[in-house]
Amino acid sequence: MRRIFVFTLFCSVLAVVPVKNDDCTYEFDMEHNLIYVSCSRNVSLTIKEKDGAISLIQDPDEKLWFETDENGKNQLPDRFSSKSTKKLKDAARILKRMKSTIGIRMGTLENITATLASGDSDLRNDLTNIKQYPPTSTLMRESMVAALQNQYTYLQHAMLALNAEMKEMVEMMSSVATAAQKSVRSQLAMNDKVQEDVLLILASLAKANVTKIERKTDFCPQELVSIKSDNTEIPVGIAQGSFAVDPIPGGQIWVTYGYSDINEIFQYKSLELLKYDVEKGTHKLPFFCEGTGHVVYKNSLFCHKGMSNKIVKYNLLQKKWEKEIALDNAGVHNKYPYQSGKFSDIDFAVDEKGLWVIYATTYSNGNIVIVKLNDDTLEILETWVTNIPKTKVGNAFMICGIMYATDSYENIPTFIKYSFNTNNGGSKVLKDNQIIFPNTIDDKFAKNYMLDYNPIQKKLYAWNHGRVEVYSVSSKSYYPFQVGANRVKRRNSRKKRKRN
């Protein structure tokens, strides 16, 4: 299981310092004394002041440079004051000194990971053996107690060791923050030596996670080829609900139950613990959500606000409401739901390209509208109006900017009937059974109220009448501009004319 760590610092000069590499983002929130570690595919190092934008960014084709405002890039000055130079050298020394220390911490954390993995394996073996005994037998009780004691011992040793390592990591991260402060205050870019050190320390920190995301090679553009069952289903007991795995390294499992008057979201550490309803935590929301189209993305809940045409962002880390906007003329409260009804008018989706919302409006005559959202501000970035009637669709999800819609929410099996490609504006009605969706596991009764894609795991998650089900997807590369090529060409021509 992937982890996300939140460290506490006691610094106040910088407001936010997000540091990114291929695998993880280290966000230093000096204003609130926190560091957040999450994921990104982009390689960059960004530092921002509290009251201004001074960014240090790595571009593959350029040296490091400072950005003094949001509109332009200023190259480094040729001469620096002796005071600024000293601060820069101090920062370099701090980073260099931490290289060997982080290497040691990495080794220790890997040992802890191995211990936890061993404990998990032993517990699974114990549970397998316990199932062989009669439920009321003495041997069953004694075996259960022994298994719990063994697992407790593993966890106790691992957590004590982990706490000690995290304490050391906090001290090292404090040193990183000190180095960054010195650089930003002097408004200097780091020299080649510091650049090498920064990239090395970022790589070390990424590897120091208890587990980390594997690099994917199948990046967009991709189009869906097939959907297959993972033979994984979790009984949850409630007919309707929403299930989400935050698509970042260490992303947790989040569940809401029901489809109306929802003001709680539950956190689980694994599918196994969800099966036994052993929750990690509960968040009481300061508003009500409705429907089953909610998602969790980058530690925030995005949901349809009950009895309104508004969508809401709620920060699960800081436990606070952040943003809400209205979707003009959106059908709500079963005006344009999916086939299942249940207030499924507004449906969020997440894919490799980010956050989306799928709905229908009076102006679109009930046909599906796809909107790309800024996940920070909820700003509407772009809108596509399709010719796909939303009430005739079983469910919909996004992969690499392509919306796929199923033919039915209750047929066994069903199939992908429609697709709409936001990359080129192409809309398709697929042949029956071209892409089959099982719509259930083990041919059980189907009423699929939720279908969402996780771009990190390449999985589809479904909420099927009281069961959470898991499916794997296969995709292939394609050339994205086969449709709408003239529009793309004209847009590129305009950009060339502006540059000239």
For β-strands 6-8 and 467-477, DSSP reports them as unpaired
Rounded mean pLDDT of 53-57?
37
Rounded mean pLDDT of 91-116?
65
Share of the chain above pLDDT 90, in %: 47
What are the tens digits of pLDDT across the range 267-296? 999 999 999 999 999 999 999 999 999 999
Whether the upstream peptide bond of residue 413 has omega within 30° of 0, thus cis, is: yes
What are the tens digits of pLDDT across the range 209-244? 433 333 344 468 899 999 999 999 999 989 999 999
Q: Over the Cα atoms of the chain, what is R_g?
A: 25
Q: Give the pLDDT score at 77.
A: 38
Q: Give the pLDDT score at 372.
A: 97
Q: Give the pLDDT score at 445.
A: 84
What CATH number was assigned to the domain covering residues 222-494? 2.40.128.630
Rounded mean pLDDT of 151-164?
66
| Range in 71-80, 91-100, 160-169, 306-315 with the lowest mean pLDDT | 71-80
- CATH fold, domain 6-207, is Helix Hairpins (1.10.287)
What's the token pair of residue 28?
Answer: 């230093």
Q: Do 118 and 154 form a contact (C-beta atoms < 8 A)? A: yes
Q: Chain-wide mean pLDDT for the chain?
A: 74
Q: How many other C-beta atoms are found inside a 10 Å radius of the C-beta of residue 232?
A: 14
**If you search the block for the tokens 């939303």, which residue do you land on?**
390
Residue 35 pLDDT greater than 70, yes or no: no
Please, which residues have CB within 8 angstroms of residue 73's CB and are 6 or more apart in sequence? Answer: 65, 66, 67
Each domain of the chain, given as residue ranges in start order, spans: 6-207, 222-494
Sign of CA pseudo-dihedral 223, 226, 229, 234: positive
Rounded mean pLDDT of 181-208?
47
Is this structure's pTM higher than 0.95?
Answer: no
Rounded mean pLDDT of 74-95?
53
Q: Do 313 and 367 form a contact (C-beta atoms < 8 A)? A: no
* Domains 6-207 and 222-494 are alike in CATH topology: no
| Range in 65-79, 114-128, 428-442 with the lowest mean pLDDT | 65-79
332-350 core/surface letters (b: 16 or more CB in 10 A; e: else): bbebbbbbbebbbbbbbbb
Residue 234: is it exposed, middle or buried by C-beta count within 10 angstroms (0-12/13-18/19+)?
buried
| Local structure of residue 157 (DSSP, 8 states) | H
